[in-house]
């Protein structure tokens, strides 16, 4: 038995008023530790985009193996979209890392993939249904298709030369 174990004063914490004020101020800011709506969307995208990259890779491989006349053009367009998705995913992961947010897959519950999200010292669970993943993948893919179409349309405008002039 040490000297302090028998002393009742050491069983409770004694704090100075300055420390108590600081502690309360930190506790008031504890809402900053949880995910914001924007961060939740970022986490959702970080979960969905790897699935999109995988799906694009498989589709590109299928197109390249098909005997389609335009398979090369489809493959090039698919590779372009795959590169854009991969670049966006890379940037998203960097942003999450800067915000001190990590995502870890967890076991499925009732056919819903679960993920642990570690955000600035706190842990949350997030689950996405397969249908929600498909819908969001479709929405994102449509955005990338629109971007590719706009680039192609712009390129077609630049390639047009007046009839009398050649390069």
Q: What is the pLDDT of residues 4-43, one digit of tens each?
A: 556 665 555 566 666 666 666 655 554 556 788 899 999 9
Q: What is the pTM of this model?
A: 0.71
Strands 101-109 and 122-127 turn out to be unpaired
pLDDT at 88 over 60: yes
């Amino acid at each position: 038995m040490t000297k302090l174990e028998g002393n009742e004063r050491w069983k409770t914490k004694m704090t100075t008023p300055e420390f108590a004020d600081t502690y309360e101020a930190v506790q008031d800011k504890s809402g900053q530790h949880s995910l914001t709506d924007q961060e939740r969307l970022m986490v959702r995208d970080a979960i969905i985009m790897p699935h999109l990259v995988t799906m694009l890779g498989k589709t590109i491989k299928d197109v390249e193996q098909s005997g389609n006349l335009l398979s090369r053009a489809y493959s090039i367009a698919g590779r372009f979209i795959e590169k854009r998705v991969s670049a966006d995913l890379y940037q998203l992961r960097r942003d999450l890392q800067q915000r001190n947010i990590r995502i870890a897959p967890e076991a499925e519950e009732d056919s819903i993939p679960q993920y642990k999200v570690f955000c600035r010292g706190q842990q949350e669970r997030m689950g996405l249904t397969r249908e929600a993943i498909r819908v969001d993948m479709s929405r994102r893919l449509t955005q990338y298709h629109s971007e590719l179409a706009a680039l192609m349309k712009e390129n077609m405008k630049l390639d047009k030369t007046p009839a009398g002039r050649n390069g």
